[in-house]
Amino acid sequence: MTGKESIEIAQQRAMDRTDQEIITKTIEEGVETAWDRFALQQPQCGFGQLGVCCNNCAMGPCRIDPFGGKTSRGVCGADVDTIVARNLLDDLCVGAAAHSDHGREVVEVLLETAEGKAQGYQITDVEKLTVLAKEYGIKTDGRDPKDVAKDLAIGILEEFGTVKNRLQLSERAPEPTREIWKKAGVMPRSIDREIVEAMHRIHMGVDADYVNILLHAMRTSLSDGWGGSMAATECSDILFGTPTPITSITNLATLSKDKVNIVLHGHNPLLSQIIVNTAEDAELKRLAEEKGAKGINLVGMCCTGNELLMRSGIPIAGSFLDQELAIATGAVEAMIVDYQCIFPSVPATASCYHTKVITTSSKAKIIGASYMEFNPENAVDTAKSIIKLAIENFPNRNPDRVRIPERPMKLMAGFSEETIRKALGGSYKALIDAIVAGTIKGCVGIVGCNNPRIKQDYGHITLAKELIKRNILVVETGCSAIACGKAGLLVPEAASLAGEGLASVCKLLGIPPVLHMGSCVDCSRILVLAANIAKELGVGIGDLPIGGAAPEWYSQKAVSIGTYFVSSGVYTVLGIPPKIFGSSNVLNLLADGLKGITNSAFAVEPDPVKAADLLEAEINRKRKALNI
């Protein structure tokens, strides 16, 4: 392949200049990436894509003829609606479990911190601790924050398998929204229970009614958004601080030519934040210099990166599809991973260079990686050992194989719900006034991943640009936020790309038109934001002129997020079709039937410009209903 051809392929695969440069390098050096594997997997099985393949029991696998042929039922007798709905619930459960189990670990560390058993952790945000304690009916006056934190942690942990059948944080939702949940029978009862019950219902011979299955899917997603994910966000804030606006840099140019590069990849900040705190250690800095490096350069990746960026301003090298590219720069001494969205092939990619991959969670080991188990009791010691290992690998870097792109992009992050509210003067009145006046038409949350089905970041960036042009404020989490960061949309100067109304508000407040609200569990921050605005207006979330979008999603977690958005009343546009097209009934219910229940629905639209049209139309519909 000629150099020109490699460059052309790279331009088809990704939007970002630094990504394109390193994709070209992977092609030149024959290093396999997700794009190559995606091409090798074509054609992908249509039964699977349509959701009509059932591999649940040993009478199968069965598949339904999507064209209406003879095979209209599985061996057990399940029809296409049952199979598609069950598969969707299965996917959603995996996503909800991933978020919530992440949340559980954060709450457990909060408990150990309160008990003085965790090394290097402290109660950082006492204000937030107090707010949560009050919600849980825990006394705070005159008490040691550690005692309060202990009661709170136990209170939240109890909700994973509760017998009280009630999730405290779900009471943050406005009353009209909770009323809808009650009426539909989808009020979440506990975090683990909904997931276990879903697994039960998926078993052969249990739930065969697709409507009933989908209602439980909604309930399970709510136990994630208003339960597990929210617990993850809130307890991370208590431990490490609630994010406030912070400036940093992004893209692959954040890697350093002369320092020890450590990439912190995954989702949970528990270990990585300790690594950030420990990297300042003088002894480690000295060791780095001894090994010929000018220091230690920590960069984030994916949502672990988002967590560190928001709270400590750690540069973020990229999102989901950047994990192999970071290694392919040839400049990464170590990639530390916790869990979720880590390609199982990362050690194979790393073996093409000197990079060491270090797994740290007992739940997420990869053959070919070094395993250094993280435990809160000795987190600082583990962090030190990991950084040392990376430093000692620095002399193995081969300068002939290093290529680090130039010019990182500036970005601003850290827009927690509390920060936005405080910036507006303690209430949402100013924002509501701007929305009523039409200066800002509404708000859309763009979230989710990358997917090699679509040019990396194209969906996120194009949709965000389209919306802000139409005076719609954009809030983002996850890979979406990183995509717009790389594209230069997360800086106050990007207000010049916004419509006149939105631009004037951004200039007044000195904020970007696209707000980085955090990691993917921090989609819960978007829920709280929407809930608080709705409460000030005395309406449900479903009445607000807002929307959601996941233009490039791939993960089951996105299925859960999309569903808790829609179940909470937020119309949500997906850029990648979910595996439900095999069933007209399921499709119609999610795209249309739900409107009568939650005043929201799903839509599928790969073209981000058309997705913006759909979202704008929905916002106008809701504005009209509110008489504004």
C-beta of 13 vs 219, nearer to other proteins: 13
Q: Cβ–Cβ contacts within 10 Å for residue 538, how many? A: 10
Determine whether the annotation assigns residue 303 to a binding site: yes
C-beta of 37 vs 182, nearer to other proteins: 37
Nearest to 557 by CA among 595, 590, 519, 592: 519
As a whole number of angstroms, the distance between CA 295 and CA 317 comes to 18
C-beta of 19 vs 224, nearer to other proteins: 19
CB of 82 to other proteins, least distance (A): 16
67, 280, 282, 399: which one binds other proteins (CB under 8 A) = 67
Determine whether the annotation assigns residue 352 to a binding site: no
Q: Is 302 in the site for other proteins (CB under 8 A)?
A: no
Taking the chain, what is the end-to-end CA distance rounded to the nearest angstrom? 58
As a whole number of angstroms, the distance between CA 467 and CA 523 comes to 19
Using CB under 8 A as the criterion, what x/- string covers residues 512-531 for binding other proteins? --------------------
C-beta of 16 vs 307, nearer to other proteins: 16
28, 55, 71, 295: which one binds other proteins (CB under 8 A) = 71
Determine whether the annotation assigns residue 235 to a binding site: no
C-beta of 64 vs 369, nearer to other proteins: 64
Give 592-600's long-range contacts (Cβ < 8 A, gap of 24+): 594/566, 597/180, 597/183, 597/184, 598/180, 598/184, 598/542, 598/566, 598/567, 598/568, 598/569, 599/180, 599/540, 599/542, 599/543, 599/569, 600/542, 600/565, 600/566, 600/568, 600/569, 600/570, 600/571, 600/572
Q: Is 455 in the site for other proteins (CB under 8 A)?
A: yes
Determine whether the annotation assigns residue 506 to a binding site: no
Determine whether the annotation assigns residue 267 to a binding site: yes
Nearest to 561 by CA among 512, 599, 518: 518
CA angle, residues 524, 529, 531, in degrees to nearest 5: 90
22-51: contacts with other proteins (CB under 8 A): 42-50
Q: Is 604 in the site for other proteins (CB under 8 A)?
A: yes
Give how far Cα 558 sits from Cα of 279, 305, 575, Å.
Answer: 33, 18, 12
Q: Is 181 in the site for other proteins (CB under 8 A)?
A: no
C-beta of 3 vs 46, nearer to other proteins: 46
Determine whether the annotation assigns residue 520 to a binding site: yes
Structure tokens at 249: 């840099």
551-590: contacts with other proteins (CB under 8 A): 575-577, 581-584, 587
Using CB under 8 A as the criterion, what x/- string covers residues 425-454 for binding other proteins? ----------------------------xx
As a whole number of angstroms, the distance between CA 535 and CA 372 comes to 46
66, 313, 368, 593: which one binds other proteins (CB under 8 A) = 66
Structure tokens at 409: 């992009």
CA dihedral of 325, 328, 329, 331, whole degrees rounded to 10: 120
Point out the annotated binding site: 45, 53-54, 57, 62, 76, 267, 303, 341, 449, 479, 520
Binding site for other proteins (CB under 8 A): 42-50, 63, 65-69, 71, 453-455, 458-459, 575-577, 581-584, 587, 604, 606-607
List residues forming the annotated binding site for [Ni-4Fe-4S] cluster: 267, 303, 341, 449, 479, 520
Would you list which residues are annotated within the binding site for [4Fe-4S] cluster?
A: 45, 53-54, 57, 62, 76
